Amino acid sequence: MPGQFPSGALRIDPSAIPAVRAAFDDSIIELRPHLRRLRQEAYIPEPWLGDPVSAEAATAYNASVMDAADGPYAAMVALEAELLRIRDSLQVMEDHYRLTEGENAALWGRL
């Protein structure tokens, strides 16, 4: 029914929930090694030329790309958190659906 759900709502047929959740799991699995590698290797540890200009550039890069709350690295970490939140919500939805369907089956089986 139009207007029933907010425009940003994700509507999933209950039988498709496991496949959708698995897709989010796959995305998380793919993202994690990249985050780990960035955390370990993306910082510029020292000025590459040892001069004041490269020192300033390294400091600016580390501050704006790796350490900034609104920087690219923080955005990727936030993406991981959002993927986890969605995946966990889908699991709760699946569990609830299975419980409800089990109760319905038991109720209809008694009639």
The boundaries of the domain holding residue 82 are 16-106
Q: Does residue 5 lie in a domain region? A: no
CA 26 vs CA 3, 67, 72, 77, 84: distances in Å: 32, 27, 22, 16, 11
Q: How many domains does the chain have?
A: 1
Distance between CA 42 and CA 51 in Å, rounded?
20
Does 43 reside within a domain?
yes
Q: What is the pLDDT of residues 15-59, one digit of tens each?
A: 889 999 999 999 999 999 999 999 999 999 999 999 999 999 999
Angle between helix 72-110 and 17-41 (nearest 10):
160
Does residue 4 fall inside a structural domain? Answer: no
Q: Looking at the domain assignment, is residue 45 inside a domain?
A: yes
pTM above 0.85, yes or no: no
- Residue 101: inside a domain, yes or no? yes
